[in-house]
Structure 1
Amino acid sequence: MLNNWFDTARLGMFIHWGHSSQIGYELSWPLVGGVFSLPFCQDIPVEQYHSTANTFNPQQYNPQEWAYLAKSLGMQYAILTAKHHDGFALFDTQASDFSVAHTPYKKDIVREFIEAMRHEGLRIGLYFSLIDWHHCDYPAFTQADKPYRFDHLPQPTPQQWERYIQFMFQQIEELLTNYGQIDIIWFDGSWERTPEQWQAEKLAKMIRDLQPNILINDRLPNCGSFETPEQFIPPHPPNNPWETCLTINESWGYNSEDHYFKSSRQLIHTLCEVAGKGGNLLLNISPMGNGQIPPEQLERLKDIADWMSSHHESILGTTPGLEPWQFYGSSTRKGNRIYLHLLMKPYETISVRGIPIKQVKSVSVLANGSSLTYTSRCAIMDSLFNPNPLGELTISVPESIINPYVTVICIDLEN
Structure 2
Amino acid sequence: MSSPAEASIDIDPAAHAWFDQARLGMFIHWGPYAVAARHEQVMLRETMAPEHYERYGDYFDADLFDADALADAAWNAGMRYAVLTAKHHDGYCLWPSALTDWSVSRTLGGRDLVREFVNAFRARGLRIGLYYSLLDWHHPDFTIDGVHPQRGGDVDALNVGRDIARYRAYLHGQVEELLTGYGAIDYLFFDFSYGEGRNGLPGKGAETWDSETLLARVRELQPGILVNDRLEIPGDLVTPEQQMPMGTIGEAADAPRWEVCQTLSGSWGYDVTVGQRRSSRQLLEQLVTATAQGGNLLLNVGPDARGRLEPAAATVLDDFATWFALHARTVHGAGPAGLGPGQAGVTATAAGDRVWLHLLHWPHRHLVLPGLRGRVRFARFVHDGSEVALAPHRDTADLMNEHTVFRVPADAEALVLPITPPDVLLPVIELHLTA
| TM-score, normalising length: structure 2 | 0.85
Please state if 1:18 is matched with 2:31: yes
The partner residue of 1:338 within 332, 355, 370 is 355
Pairing 1:385-400 to 2, within 5 Å after superposition: 391-400=411-420
> Matches of 2:337 and 2:118 in 1, distance apart?
34
Structure 1 partner of 2:315: 299
Q: 3-state DSSP class of the match of 1:354?
A: coil
- Render the CA deviation track for 1:223-279: whole Å, top value 9, x for unaligned: 310000100111223330000000011100001101211111111111111111110
> Matches of 1:145 and 1:358 in 2, distance apart?
65
Alignment check: 8 A CA contact 1:378 1:391 kept: no
Pairing 1:183-198 to 2, within 5 Å after superposition: 183-191=186-194, 192-198=203-209
**CA distance 1:216–1:231, change in 2 (3 Å):** same
> Matches of 1:98 and 1:122 in 2, distance apart?
29
Say how many residue pairs are matched: 394
Pairing 1:14-413 to 2, within 5 Å after superposition: 14-27=27-40, 29-32=41-44, 34=45, 44=48, 46-104=50-108, 106-139=110-143, 144-146=150-152, 160-191=163-194, 192-238=203-249, 239-328=255-344, 329-355=346-372, 357-375=373-391, 391-413=411-433
Shift in Å, 1:26: 1.7
Greater CA drift, 124-133 or 260-269: 260-269
> Matches of 1:179 and 1:379 in 2, distance apart?
65
Shift in Å, 1:197: 1.7
> Matches of 1:222 and 1:230 in 2, distance apart?
18
Alignment check: 8 A CA contact 1:374 1:393 kept: yes
Amino acid at match of 2:411: G
Alignment check: 8 A CA contact 2:89 2:134 kept: yes
Alignment check: 8 A CA contact 1:8 1:280 kept: no
Gaps of 5+ in 1: 35-41, 381-388
Shift in Å, 1:47: 3.1
Percent identity of paired positions between Structure 1 and Structure 2? 35
Amino acid at match of 1:127: Y
Shift in Å, 1:391: 2.2
| TM-score, normalising length: structure 1 | 0.89
> Matches of 2:220 and 2:363 in 1, distance apart?
53
Q: 3-state DSSP class of the match of 1:190?
A: coil
> Matches of 1:7 and 1:155 in 2, distance apart?
46
Alignment check: 8 A CA contact 2:77 2:317 kept: yes
Structure 1 partner of 2:6: none
Structure 2 partner of 1:39: none
Q: 3-state DSSP class of the match of 2:139?
A: coil
Greater CA drift, 362-371 or 394-403: 394-403
- Render the CA deviation track for 1:40-80: whole Å, top value 9, x for unaligned: xx665653322211122111000001100011011110000
Structure 2 partner of 1:4: 17
Greater CA drift, 90-99 or 43-52: 43-52
> Matches of 2:39 and 2:152 in 1, distance apart?
17
Gaps of 5+ in 2: 1-10, 195-202, 250-254, 397-408
Shift in Å, 1:145: 2.6
**CA distance 1:64–1:147, change in 2 (3 Å):** farther
Greater CA drift, 159-168 or 339-348: 159-168
Q: 3-state DSSP class of the match of 2:411?
A: strand
For the aligned residue pairs, the C-alpha RMSD in angstroms reads 2.5
